Amino acid sequence: MTIAVVVTMWVSLSLFGVGLLSAQQVDLIKGRWYDKIEVTVFLCTAATQGTNCDAGHDATDAQRDVIRKTLESNAEVAAVTYETKDEVFVQFKEVYKDSSILGTMTAADMQDNFRVKLKNPEDYQGVVSAVQGLPGVQKVQDLRGILEPVFAWLNLARVATVGASLLLLLAAALQIGNTIRMAAFSRRRELGIMRLVGASNWFIVLPFLLESLVAALAGAVLACLTLAGLEQFVIIGKAQPAIQTVRWIGWDNIGLTVLAVVAVAVVLSTIPTLIATRRYLRV
């Protein structure tokens, strides 16, 4: 039964950790591509082509001023942020820091833009129609329609993973309690004698507490190794090289998740043990 407890804790804590990591991954993607950006107005550069662009020329300062004033005067706009080519290049270097493409690009190759935060993200058509025909505007992009289906599936996967892990954690807690209850029942005569001769409650409970704690921590260690393997072989080894435009979770996220897994393991080993042994603390 101890082996069963270890395996159950391993599986449930691993799934719980995966749920936490998936939540952090969704937050990372949202922080970069969703919460920050509502509508992006890309300006003309010498390398871009568009009906509002002068071939071979960047957007002029006068055109930028007109675009900014048009955006700021729009009642649907909450905030307007201009990103220079240098600022865009800083973000580009962060996203592609592990890619060979970084060595072939410079700040001059970037495309400056206006980031537009809307008061109501659903009301973006008025902003798009107001600026998409202005001189110097190469393209207007709304990312909500692109990202919402992705985040909907990611959130669904996160909820499903966390829900399943909670059920398994409950099963692990019940199994720990049942294991300790059986162990205490088999030693009930010895426990009764210890209680009669004045042994303290902690002296009686401590061996059972240590037994459950060791089993839970063994499962937690296996779960942490599983999460580390997921980061090394799946995220770093497969996901990052395949999809370089996404900011993936790193070892700092793994560290936070490991701490949460160990904390949950300690709680799951302590509370069921205290509940299972309380009847044997009476004379």
CATH of the domain at 57: 3.30.70.3040
- pLDDT digits 0-9 by tens, 169-228: 788 778 777 777 777 676 767 766 776 776 666 676 778 788 888 888 998 999 999 999
Instruction: Take residue 158 and report the two structure tokens written for it.
Output: 């996160």
Q: Which of 142, 158, 185 is the last residue of a domain?
A: 142
Q: Which of 123, 142, 161 is the last residue of a domain?
A: 142
Instruction: Take residue 104 and report the two structure tokens written for it.
Output: 């072939």
Burial class (CB in 10 A: 0-12, 13-18, 19+), 35: exposed
Q: Which pLDDT belongs to residue 283?
A: 45
Same domain? 42 vs 28: no
Same domain? 25 vs 54: no
C-alpha of 232 from chain center? 16
Q: How many domains does the chain have?
A: 2
Same domain? 28 vs 154: yes
CA atoms in the 13 A half-sphere facing the CB of 9: 32
Average pLDDT, the chain: 82
Same domain? 177 vs 225: yes
Domain with 95 in it:
38-142
Same domain? 161 vs 271: yes
How much is the average pLDDT of 228-232? 92
Of 46 and 152, more confident: 46
**pLDDT over 60 at 236, yes or no:** yes
Q: Which pLDDT belongs to residue 260?
A: 92
Same domain? 262 vs 212: yes
Q: How many degrees, rounded to 5, is the angle at CA 164 between CA 162 and CA 170?
A: 100
How much is the average pLDDT of 156-175? 79
Beta-carbon neighbour count of residue 253 at 10 Å? 20
How much is the average pLDDT of 254-263? 93
Q: Which pLDDT belongs to residue 47?
A: 84
Q: Return d(Cα 147, Cα 189) in angstroms, integer.
A: 64
Measured torsion, CA atoms of residues 73, 74, 79, 83, in degrees rounded to the nearest 10 = -80
Q: Return d(Cα 280, Cα 283) in angstroms, integer.
A: 8
Same domain? 62 vs 159: no
Same domain? 212 vs 271: yes
Q: Give the H or E element holding residue 22.
A: helix 2-33
Q: Return d(Cα 277, Cα 65) in angstroms, integer.
A: 74
- pLDDT digits 0-9 by tens, 71-111: 999 988 889 999 999 999 998 888 888 777 877 888 888 89
Same domain? 255 vs 275: yes
Q: Which of 114, 142, 170 is the last residue of a domain?
A: 142
Same domain? 58 vs 184: no
For the entire predicted model, the pTM comes to: 0.58
Q: Which pLDDT belongs to residue 19?
A: 83
Same domain? 171 vs 264: yes
The amino acid occupying position 228 is A
**pLDDT over 80 at 60, yes or no:** yes
DSSP class of residue 248? -
Beta-carbon neighbour count of residue 151 at 10 Å? 16
Q: How confident is the model at residue 31 (pLDDT cuts 50, 70, 90)?
A: low
Q: Which pLDDT belongs to residue 26?
A: 77
| Cβ contacts of 194 within 8 Å, gap of 6 or more | 203, 204
Q: How confident is the model at residue 271 (pLDDT cuts 50, 70, 90)?
A: confident
Q: Return d(Cα 77, Cα 79) in angstroms, integer.
A: 6
Provide the percentage of residues in the chain whose pLDDT is more than 70.
85
Contact 235, 247 (CB under 8 A): no
Same domain? 137 vs 151: no
